[in-house]
């Protein structure tokens, strides 16, 4: 758990520094920064999807998991819509905003949580941490700290709370790996990361577009991947 704890500390410190900068940045600059960050996040998401879907076979470029991606996103979104996850999370965010006299909690929390949790580094680093090797999560902590600084300076208070999500998510993976051994197959990591990076790309689109995608309603897609691999 040491690697995850360092990761959470990095996010918290970065977010706190970002909040200090936020008060010094004008509103028009924040809007410009959000669009610029959105482009970068979208590109990172697309690269992540492609890196997990595309492979070289005998000199030919091939793809994998296309059908699984379609099913996971479709079923996951239907599940999220039925459960009204986006509405419920926004209601919770408004309650937090009222309680702490802040704003943009939901957007900052969801955006940061997705960026910090998806991807192979979070999964592989947590598994390695269970085996006593924390280097990957230390590196992730440094990257996340810088990202948290940028996000908190534009999206505000909610970014700090994403550290709780990271602690629970990576801590659970570490616990599973410690109890059951190295149970994370390459196929699971690739397909889970692929769907996760689709959500990251959608975050980038939300930064750029006026009409927002309901990202919280798409989160069950990650659960679909887990269920699929448990069955298969």
Tens-digit pLDDT profile for residues 41-62: 899 889 989 989 999 888 889 9
- Residue 37 or 175, more confident: 175
Taking the C-alpha atoms of 72, 51, 125 and 230 in order, what is their torsion angle to the nearest 10 degrees?
A: 30
For the chain, helix, strand, coil in percent to 5 are 80, 5, 15
Question: CA 192, CA 71: separation in Å to the nearest integer?
Answer: 13
Neighbouring residues of 193: CB distance < 8 A, sequence distance ≥ 6:
48, 52, 118, 119, 120, 123
Residue 183: band (very low, low, confident or very high) from pLDDT cuts 50, 70, 90: low
Neighbouring residues of 2: CB distance < 8 A, sequence distance ≥ 6:
129, 134
When divided into structural domains, the chain yields a total of: 1
Q: Nearest 5°: CA angle at 167, between 30 and 2?
A: 115
Instruction: Write the pLDDT tens digit of every residue in 138-177.
Output: 989 998 998 898 889 888 888 999 999 999 999 998 888 8
- Count of residues making up the chain: 232
Neighbouring residues of 32: CB distance < 8 A, sequence distance ≥ 6:
none
Question: Average pLDDT in the 131-144 region?
Answer: 88
What angle, rounded to 10 degrees, do the helices at 66-83 and 186-208 form? 60
Using alpha carbons, select from 8, 5, 21 the residue that is nearest to residue 150.
21
- Which residues are 60's β-sheet partners? 57
Neighbouring residues of 191: CB distance < 8 A, sequence distance ≥ 6:
52, 65, 68, 69, 72, 225, 228, 229
Instruction: Write the pLDDT tens digit of every residue in 109-125.
Output: 888 888 898 777 788 78
Query: For residue 83, what are the domain limits?
Result: 2-231
Question: Average pLDDT in the 81-100 region?
Answer: 80
> How large a percentage of the chain has pLDDT more than 90?
29
């Amino acid at each position: 758990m040491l690697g995850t704890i360092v990761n959470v500390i990095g996010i918290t410190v970065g977010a706190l520094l970002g909040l200090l900068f936020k008060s010094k940045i004008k509103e028009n600059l924040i809007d410009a920064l959000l669009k610029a960050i959105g482009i970068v996040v979208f590109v990172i998401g697309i690269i992540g999807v492609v890196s997990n879907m595309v492979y070289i076979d005998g000199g030919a470029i091939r793809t994998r998991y296309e059908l699984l991606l379609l099913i996971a996103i479709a079923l996951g979104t239907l599940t999220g819509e039925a459960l009204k996850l986006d509405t419920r999370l926004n209601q919770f965010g408004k309650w937090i905003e009222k309680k702490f006299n802040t704003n943009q909690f939901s957007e900052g929390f969801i955006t940061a949580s997705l960026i910090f949790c998806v991807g192979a580094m979070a999964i592989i680093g947590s598994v390695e941490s269970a085996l006593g090797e924390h280097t990957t999560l230390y590196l992730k902590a440094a990257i996340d700290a810088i990202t948290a600084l940028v996000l908190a300076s534009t999206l505000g208070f909610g970014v700090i709370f994403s550290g709780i999500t990271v602690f629970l998510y990576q801590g659970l993976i570490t616990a599973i790996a410690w109890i059951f051994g190295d149970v994370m197959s390459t196929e699971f990591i690739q397909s889970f990361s692929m769907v996760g990076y689709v959500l990251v790309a959608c975050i980038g689109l939300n930064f750029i577009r006026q009409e927002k995608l309901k990202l919280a309603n798409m989160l069950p897609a990650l659960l679909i991947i887990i269920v699929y691999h448990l069955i298969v």
